[in-house]
Structure 1
């Protein structure tokens, strides 16, 4: 067995970003940039007013105050999207709207709230300094500067930057194609009646949802029964994808032959078993297609909590790396256990917890029974707490590392 960190490093070493594609901005959310973005123009492209008011020569307001305002002649009105027709000289002002270009001769804008407008004149009731309420040309993005780095994740702000530079499309790494196969003759699809000894297939749906959460829409390929030939045929068909996720059949039971099928299909196994609980029987391999390209093959345990934890720790980072992201592992911080968490095994216990801030500390509360078959242990979990194999575990009040997996308000 190898550690969680070593297993993830080994897996990511076999991941390269997929080929790029050009997308319209409206479809680029969540993708990663292939190339750095350099501003081809100044943003904003001209000096402009930061608020509604009057463009003036700041020196004209020397000595202006509430009881002794300075009077200026209004010679122009400048709306956003237009430019001034008059030069502002000493003793004059131009009424200006937010975002409108600063007219020639003006070096400041006084806000409307500090003025009183009368017929053809404006009274300024405070001293104004040069460049007050002016957004200089290039203040946001000077021409020639790198504004977004290669590999940057594209969020709403990044889309705004790209749009401000006039870019209708952006080059990003494409999304991976993902196939999901659940294994086991005991599985039945939801909506069908259960016979004795059968259970509903939940793993394929949780894996699908976890993929979608990353921004990838996978293909559920159905249930492979405990039949070697059927499993072989289903997995062979799935190897055309960039990633294959199978659940179940990777342990040491009589019908756990997923690894044997992988071997028969030419999947080169890179690891089997990770020093963690739940999720120990995880397998990972690489299938090199004769025609070119590869499929990364994950075999996650059949127990629902094991499958979900394995996805969070290993498959999610893989999908993000294939999509070109540079930050692929969720952030890890520390929290204080709210309860004892024993660990008598020589592997890390991954405890599903919810986080709470109390008296200046972040507390990690167990979601309940931590059995690997309890999918409900992931319900309400906002983090995974790692209880190492040192000693006999951790006591309430001890500090542990936690990986946040859901948004939390702590």
Structure 2
């Protein structure tokens, strides 16, 4: 099944991720210069236009030698007939008993059988050199194509390009790549109770943690997003979402997705033509989570409504938002789960849980310990947390249990 409109009640975490995968369609492709492709995802494989090294070259500063036989014994002499610097074009050809002064990266002259690093060479008069150590054949020569063959696949479809990948592509002469278009993201923070500055902290208000958290998360993942703050008013929310849905690929909202008198995100979205994919997930934190999409011939807009509690938003970013964004660029719609060993008992809970943990590697095992203050409105343990553990529902767990989780950035 694909597309919008799959109506479901309370669902599991795996069901929610599966529904996201079935619903999301990858974005269009575009060609960009490699230098501008950081954090972009490839829409097709990239092949090497040339071999690497392009030509056989010296790995050291020293002398290219043409020896009549190998190995060369210490004490043997060679006549120096020229010099090859890195980047220099030279037509020198060596005959037996001849040498050329060469520098790292310099093109190996025709006839060369080995290279002697300058530390094992003594220079004598009349451009004669003598080896002070025995030397094997083909020493310190980088062969053409030994690292990369022309036409070889360098990077594959679905790969996100980091700094190292950019350098490797440029090294082989790749100038542009086909990537998925960047998602246009709108983030809508709802609520009358949030204050962004200490001067605005009047009675009954709380500091806004969600907006700076979402901004930092988007920046960390190379995402360009626009942010909007709207009061818990149905008319204001309707006007904003209506204006956003035709020009953004993804709208993320925080707050207003439960069943309270001022929780307007879901009814407003449905009235605007969004079709519900799911609403509630049997998890803790973050049970109220709304996923929907509005689809037309010209445009598809996805809406992911997150709870208002900061810890629930944080979990949603690590599990659901990242998975949705992966789907938009043709990647597997799933977090990067890793296994970890629980270091203590955990009591049973009727809902599947995400617990903030302290993780460290001991004796070759990733071991995790639960932190205190796990409630959905609490964030202070994020100073210590580096792992998010997925704990099954309705199970009392003992120390040593192997569970899945996510490394936290």
Task: Tell me the TM-score normalized by structure 2.
Answer: 0.91
The Cα shift of 1:192 comes to: 4.0
Match of 1:130 in 2: 137
Match of 1:25 in 2: 34
Q: Distance in 2 between matches of 1:272 and 1:293?
A: 23
Match of 2:234 in 1: 228
Q: Distance in 2 between matches of 1:59 and 1:285?
A: 76
SS of equivalent to 1:123: strand
Query: Is residue 249 of structure 1 aligned with residue 272 of structure 2?
Result: no
1:350 to 346, 350, 354: 354
Match of 1:74 in 2: 80
Q: Distance in 2 between matches of 1:227 and 1:282?
A: 19
Query: Is residue 179 of structure 1 aligned with residue 182 of structure 2?
Result: no
Q: Distance in 1 between matches of 2:153 and 2:174?
A: 15
The Cα shift of 1:79 comes to: 0.5
Q: Distance in 2 between matches of 1:144 and 1:193?
A: 61
- Alignment CA distance shift 1:51-1:383 (3 Å): same
Query: Is residue 405 of structure 1 aligned with residue 408 of structure 2?
Result: yes
Match of 1:336 in 2: 341
Q: Distance in 2 between matches of 1:110 and 1:63?
A: 10
1:2 to 11, 15, 20: 11
SS of equivalent to 1:261: helix
- Alignment CA distance shift 1:162-1:344 (3 Å): closer
- Alignment CA distance shift 1:60-1:126 (3 Å): farther
SS of equivalent to 1:341: coil
User: Does structure 1 conserve the Cα–Cα contact (< 8 Å) formed by 2:21 and 2:333?
Assistant: no
Q: Distance in 1 between matches of 2:210 and 2:164?
A: 35
Match of 1:294 in 2: 300
Q: Distance in 1 between matches of 2:282 and 2:326?
A: 23
User: Does structure 2 conserve the Cα–Cα contact (< 8 Å) formed by 1:305 and 1:378?
Assistant: no
SS of equivalent to 1:109: strand
1:383 to 364, 383, 387: 387
Over residues 112-169 of structure 1, what are the superposed CA-to-partner deviations in whole Å (9 max), with x where a residue is unaligned?
2222222311112334333221111112221122222222221222212321232333
- Alignment CA distance shift 1:160-1:58 (3 Å): farther
Please, what is the CA RMSD of the aligned residues? Answer: 2.0
The Cα shift of 1:17 comes to: 2.5
The Cα shift of 1:295 comes to: 1.0
User: Does structure 1 conserve the Cα–Cα contact (< 8 Å) formed by 2:68 and 2:97?
Assistant: no
SS of equivalent to 2:323: helix
2:327 to 301, 318, 321: 321
Q: Distance in 2 between matches of 1:14 and 1:405?
A: 26
SS of equivalent to 1:284: strand
- Alignment CA distance shift 1:186-1:359 (3 Å): same
The Cα shift of 1:82 comes to: 1.0
The Cα shift of 1:51 comes to: 1.2
Q: Distance in 1 between matches of 2:68 and 2:332?
A: 51
Structure 2: segments with no counterpart, 5+ residues: 1-9
The Cα shift of 1:312 comes to: 1.1
The Cα shift of 1:333 comes to: 2.2
Range 260-269 or range 361-370, more displaced: 361-370
2:53 to 44, 64, 68: 44
SS of equivalent to 1:26: helix
Match of 1:207 in 2: 214
SS of equivalent to 1:13: helix
User: Does structure 1 conserve the Cα–Cα contact (< 8 Å) formed by 2:20 and 2:333?
Assistant: no
Q: How does 1:108-123 map to 2 (within 5 A)?
A: 108-119=114-125, 120-123=127-130
Q: How does 1:94-113 map to 2 (within 5 A)?
A: 94-113=100-119
User: Does structure 2 conserve the Cα–Cα contact (< 8 Å) formed by 1:22 and 1:172?
Assistant: yes
